[in-house]
């Protein structure tokens, strides 16, 4: 028990073994049994990422802690998208759009909905910080429209595609808005993003747990980065099996983007649910909106630069069905945040929208 070294824990063993498996399996075609083992290591690494992100969050405090996992996962998401776009698949031109929009729908409806259901069952109608949540939603909606809706209506290029100048504008605007949101969250109006008590007063961010030491936080940071690298690397190795499974199930190729987003956002989903279960609903919402913003605000600028050397046509504009679902998500999210309290009923509505999105992605 106490004789076990602090580094020998499940949350350190899984990322370590996953990185070893990644090194051994990279560039090869593992047999079915090896793929199953890699899938187990991938799942363990996801859970380890959640643990280490929470250690870091407890050290740096909110809202900085919520940014750690959001930014780290988004950087990994961008890397995965670019790696898959370098393949010869004909669907790579829309892969970025499919993955980014899936991330937006999962965060706005999946993470938020699950958090509201968990918090509602345990605490009835938990309080949220309307100021910070409204800021996150407004910024997310603006960037999503600029990057994913406007291309469907521009006329400089045929199809749902930006011209070079338009893509540059969207990339700069998205990056600036994301940067301003981070400044607002961490410096100018930090109290807007802290959990609140029943009277609406901000709660000290570290009231629920003992603050980890700097050494523990730095150790967790290293394992968090290793776990995320392992997740995306193993996902790349498993991607042929994922694509084969999608095709074998008779699903459209665009559904691969949904699978990628579900996998990449799993650590944040679990972390948000755990915070909601601790009556820290605002932290869950910080994770949701922060992840959505980072997914668009960082991914689009990087992909805009990547198109300078990637021989692909970057299709970003959404189709009619997805436009309707995005509009519905923003309207319902606004109504959810309106009263400053949320219930499991509102959570169920968000989850219903996510279910509709996944179903219509599978059966367009």
**Does residue 77 carry a pLDDT above 80?**
no
Query: Is residue 355 in a domain?
Result: yes
Query: Is residue 55 in a domain?
Result: yes
Gap between the Cα atoms of 196 and 282, Å rounded: 8
**Does residue 116 carry a pLDDT above 70?**
yes
Range scoring the smallest mean pLDDT among 4-18, 127-141, 341-355: 4-18
Angle between helix 164-183 and helix 130-144 axes, rounded to 10 deg: 170
Query: Is residue 185 in a domain?
Result: yes
Query: Is residue 207 in a domain?
Result: yes
pLDDT given at position 8: 66
**Does residue 233 carry a pLDDT above 90?**
no
Angle between helix 299-306 and helix 164-183 axes, rounded to 10 deg: 150
Query: Is residue 5 in a domain?
Result: no
Which comes out higher in pLDDT, residue 131 or 346?
A: 346
Q: Domain tally for the chain?
A: 1
Residues in the chain: 364
**Containing domain of residue 38, as a range?**
10-362
Candidates 91, 104, 177; CA nearest to 350 is 104
Query: Is residue 3 in a domain?
Result: no
Share of the chain above pLDDT 90, in %: 30
Mean pLDDT of the chain: 83
In this prediction, residue 213 has a pLDDT band, given cuts at 50, 70 and 90, of confident
CATH number at residue 99: 1.20.1420.30
Query: Is residue 21 in a domain?
Result: yes
Query: Is residue 4 in a domain?
Result: no
pLDDT tens column, 280-334: 888 889 889 988 888 888 888 888 887 777 767 788 999 999 999 999 999 999 9
Read off the pTM: 0.83
pLDDT given at position 104: 94
CB neighbour class for 130 (10 Å; exposed up to 12, middle 13-18, buried from 19):
middle
CB neighbour class for 226 (10 Å; exposed up to 12, middle 13-18, buried from 19):
buried
């Amino acid at each position: 028990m106490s004789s076990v070294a602090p580094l020998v824990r499940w949350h350190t063993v899984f990322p370590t073994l996953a990185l070893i498996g990644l090194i051994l399996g990279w560039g090869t075609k593992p047999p079915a049994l090896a793929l199953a083992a890699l899938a187990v290591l991938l799942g363990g690494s996801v859970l380890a990422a959640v643990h280490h992100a929470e250690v870091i969050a407890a050290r740096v405090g909110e809202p900085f802690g919520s940014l750690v996992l959001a930014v780290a996962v988004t950087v990994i998401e961008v890397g995965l998208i670019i790696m898959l776009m370098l393949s010869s698949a004909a669907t790579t031109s829309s892969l970025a759009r499919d993955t980014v929009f899936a991330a937006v729908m999962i965060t706005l409806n999946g993470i938020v909905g699950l958090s509201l259901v968990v918090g509602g069952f345990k605490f009835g109608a938990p309080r949220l910080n309307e100021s910070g949540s409204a800021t996150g939603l407004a910024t997310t909606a603006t960037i999503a429209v600029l990057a994913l809706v406007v291309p469907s209506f521009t006329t400089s290029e045929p199809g749902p595609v930006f011209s070079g100048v338009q893509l540059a504008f969207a990339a700069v605007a998205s990056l600036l808005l994301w940067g301003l949101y981070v400044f607002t969250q961490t410096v100018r109006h930090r109290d807007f993003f802290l959990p609140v008590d029943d009277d609406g007063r901000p709660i000290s961010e570290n009231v629920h747990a003992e603050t980890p030491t700097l050494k523990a936080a730095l150790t967790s940071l290293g394992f968090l980065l290793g776990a995320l690298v392992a997740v995306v690397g193993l996902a790349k190795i498993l991607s042929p099996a994922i694509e084969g499974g999608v095709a074998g199930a008779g699903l459209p190729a665009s559904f691969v983007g949904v699978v990628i987003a579900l996998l990449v956002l799993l650590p944040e989903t679990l972390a948000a649910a755990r915070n909601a279960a601790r009556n820290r609903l605002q932290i869950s919402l910080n994770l949701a909106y922060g992840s959505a913003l980072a997914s668009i605000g960082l991914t689009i600028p990087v992909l805009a630069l990547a198109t300078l050397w990637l021989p692909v046509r970057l299709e970003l504009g959404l189709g009619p069905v997805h436009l309707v679902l995005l509009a519905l998500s923003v309207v319902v999210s606004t109504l959810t945040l309106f009263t400053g309290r949320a219930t499991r009923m509102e959570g169920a509505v968000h989850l219903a929208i996510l279910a509709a999105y996944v179903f219509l992605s599978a059966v367009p």
